[in-house]
Structure formats: C-alpha cells, structure tokens
Amino acid sequence: MRRTLISLLIALSVSGAALADDDVSKVNGTAQVEAGQHAGDVHTVNGSVRIGDNAVVQKASTVNGAVELGKSATATIVKSVNGGLTLHENSRVSDEVETVNGRILLERGADVKGQLSNVNGEISLEGAHVGGGIETTNADVTIGEGSKVEGGLLVKKPSMSFFSSNDRIPKIVIGPHAVVQGTLSFQRDVELHVSDSATVGKIEGATAKKFSGSAP
C-alpha cells in the first residue's frame, strides 16, 4: 500500500511538471506562441514577439523588436526596449505595458490593469482601458472614443540633453466620451485637446482646448 501511494505521488508530480508552461527564448529571431497555446516567459533579442489569439503567457518581452498580443490573448507583463507594442482586440495584461522607444497601440476592448508607459513614440487607445495611468516624455497621446484611463496621465519633463535635440511639442487628444480619472499632469509644454463629451480629472501644467466631433 505504501509503495502504491509513493508511486501515485511520483506520477502526479511528473504529470504536473509536464503541464508547466515552458519559456520561449530566441536570439536574432521571432519568438512566437501559437493561437490558443500557453507559455511562460516569451523573450527575444533582436527580434519580435508574437502571441497568437487566445494564447496565455507570463511575460512577453524583447530588446530591439516589436511585441504583438493577439485577439483575446492574455499576458502578465508586456515590454520592449526599442520597438512598438500592439494589443489587439480584447487582449488582457494584468500588470504593466512598457517600451522605451516605440509606439503603443491598444485596440478596442484591450485591457491593461497596470501602468502604460513609454519615452518616445505614439500612444493610442481605441476604446481600450488602462487601470494604472499613462506616463510618457515625448509621445503624442490619443485616448480615443470610449476609452477609459484610471490613475491619470503624466507627461514628464525631458532631460536637458534630450530636450536640446528634440524640442517638438507632444499632442495630447482626449476623444469623445473618453474618461481620464485622476490628475492630468504636464511637466512640459503640450498641445492638449479635450472633447466636449469627455470626462477628465484635474489638469496641471496645460490649458485644454475643447473640440466637438470625432477629432480636433
């Protein structure tokens, strides 16, 4: 009886290990998880990360490449150093989404529970949700129609070395029926446009220009 019990426990342990989600790692190439599959950390250097529709992963990250989260896919963290991030329709990220240099696009129904941030590039929400606020230094930001951001919006003051080489003024658009809860804080000059049907929190460091219709 004792031997039978021990054998059963060993079998269950081996079975559990087989079910564990494997990591996917590449160098100079694309790291990919097929639609509907599960994986652990998915990472590459000098290449893109592609997570298929309805797939589930832990961390999706790259250095020098883009990350794409498919429709209704789920990840804990999405990061890149130099590359864009795209969250397709109804995808979910339970923590943060971050890139240094690259565009961030959230399609309709995409949901980020944590913070959304970059330094350079565009940030666009198309009917999406961000729960931990948005932070950038030099990005144009469009919080599109029906989008919701909790935790406010921060546009940081660039360093002197960065500012001297790029003094463009970021354009910030809060679209129709969009909601930004928390403070909208601007530590540098921006061009701020807020729809007359949007709802926003306290604005610091900028004067909003109201617009009607779909865009300013």
**Domain map of the chain by residue range?**
2-211
**pLDDT of 125:** 98
pLDDT score of 216: 95
- pLDDT value, residue 159: 80
Dihedral (CA of 142, 117, 127, 197) sign: negative
Q: Give the per-residue pLDDT at 20.
A: 47
Q: Identify each DSSP E strand in 39-109 by its residue range.
A: 42-45, 49-51, 59-63, 67-69, 74-75, 77-82, 85-87, 92-93, 97-101, 104-106
- Which sign does the torsion angle of CA 21, 36, 131, 79 carry? positive
Q: What phi and psi, each to the nearest 5 degrees, are found at residue 76?
A: -85, -50
Whole-number pLDDT of residue 129: 98
**pLDDT means per 10 residues in the chain (216 residues)?**
40 37 93 97 97 98 97 98 98 98 98 97 97 97 98 92 66 98 98 98 98 94
